[in-house]
Chains A and B, each alone.
Chain A
Amino acid sequence: MKQHSENKTTFSSQFRTIIVVAMTLFVVVAMSPIFYSNPEEIKDLNERLIATGLSNDNKSKDSVESVKAFRNVYKVLMSPRCMNCHPSGDVPLQGDDSHLHTMLPRRGKDGKGLFAMKCANCHQATNTPGLHAPPGNPDWHLPAADMKMVFEGRTPNQLAKQLVDPKQNGHKNLDQLLEHVSDTLVIAGWHPGEGRTKPPMSYEEFKKAWITWIEKGAYAPKQ
């Protein structure tokens, strides 16, 4: 009887293990289409992740957590404080309604403007006091003409893939992408000057979301 009972316990344990493994596999397979549209897209993104060094540490990867974090990253990047300097055209945007910048200054080759209309001619090292007066930063500029890093009009899927692609993100690798969140021009979004709303969460929350998104694998949402 004792022998029979041990055999039964072992069989039951093995059965449970098989069930757990099978369920895990089912969940992984079933969930994957949530994040990626098709196998080609997965392959494409994986290649980009490898290129940026993001996929080296498989242990920390978590597609659910990564995509969840990116939802918050996206909310900030699409807020006027970020998107206004990542326009789809060559004229920056302005204000909480993201209208075209008055005077229609142009991007220029280096992103710092053209002729008598260079960014730093009006944008000083610090915010100019006064309602809607020019906000400031010592390095005020748009992305350069050869890598426009457009946010305007991008879906979460498009923007996530663009951000991890060195051919579209300013040739940034993993470390540089992580460091970018501490760039003074990024932080300037939370010191917008009078008459401009701040991004929809604190800088600390954004930084946490940005790092989580990247460290968990920099996955792109399906949409």
Chain B
Amino acid sequence: MAIISCKINGKDYKLDVDPQMPLLWAIRDVAKLKGTKYGCGVAQCGACVVHLNGEAVRSCVAKVSRAEGQNIVTIEGLSQDNDHPVQLAWQEIDVPQCGYCHSGQIMSAAVLLREKPNPTDEEIDIAMAGNICRCGTYPRVRKAIHLAAEMQSKKGKKA
């Protein structure tokens, strides 16, 4: 066991955990933030995506030791009032069906819009290819990302 010090959603945490523990376990079971989901456990589906220093890391395969001294953002901390352009667009388009994969989808989309504020369909497909949705919401995901890009540019707010 070890104490892993990190910041999650702007708050300092000292997690008393096995350093080999998957970051996802620490986020859900120790920090008690349940928005990030477990899907495949081998970095294949994208349900567990969180931001580690701004990158869309798959928390099911990242060891919690990787988070030592780092800054993590989960779906709960993406915005103060659930008003991130991607979250607003997701609501507007009513993207989810069962919803299980969508915290991961949203976290990946947020990284895309930060790096490519007005992505093409192809760029969206490249960025989101690692997020699997068994309900097949892909067309709405793409539509919502375009809408989020539009919202972001109108507000002059970066994702």
Binding site for B on A (CB under 8 A): 102-106, 114-118, 120-122, 124-125, 128, 130, 132-134
Contact = CB atoms under 8 A, between A and B. Distances in A.
Contacts of B107: 116
Interface in B41-75: 41-44, 49, 55-58, 61-63, 66
B61 A134 contact: yes
A147 B14 CA distance: 43
B157 to A, nearest CB: 19
Interface stretch (B3-11, B29-37, B77-85, B111-119): B111-119
Contacts of A121: 43, 49, 55-58, 130
B129 A105 contact: yes
Contact of B126 (A114, A130, A133): A114
A116 B43 contact: no
Contacts of A124: 61-63, 66
Given A124-B66, A128-B42, A134-B42, A115 B61 contact: no
B108 A133 contact: no
B56 A128 contact: no
Contact of B127 (A117, A120, A125, A130): A117
Contacts, number: 69
Interface of B: 41-44, 49, 55-58, 61-63, 66, 107-109, 111-112, 115-116, 123, 126-131
Given A116-B108, A117-B126, 16 more contacts: A102-B44, A103-B44, A115-B108, A115-B111, A115-B115, A116-B49, A116-B112, A117-B127, A118-B56, A120-B55, A121-B57, A121-B130, A124-B63, A128-B43, A130-B41, A132-B42
Contacts of B58: 121-122
B42 A115 contact: no
Contacts of A116: 49, 56, 107-109, 111-112, 127-128, 130-131
Contacts of A118: 55-56
A130 B61 CA distance: 11
Contacts of B123: 115
Given A105-B129, A122-B61, A124-B66, A115 B112 contact: yes
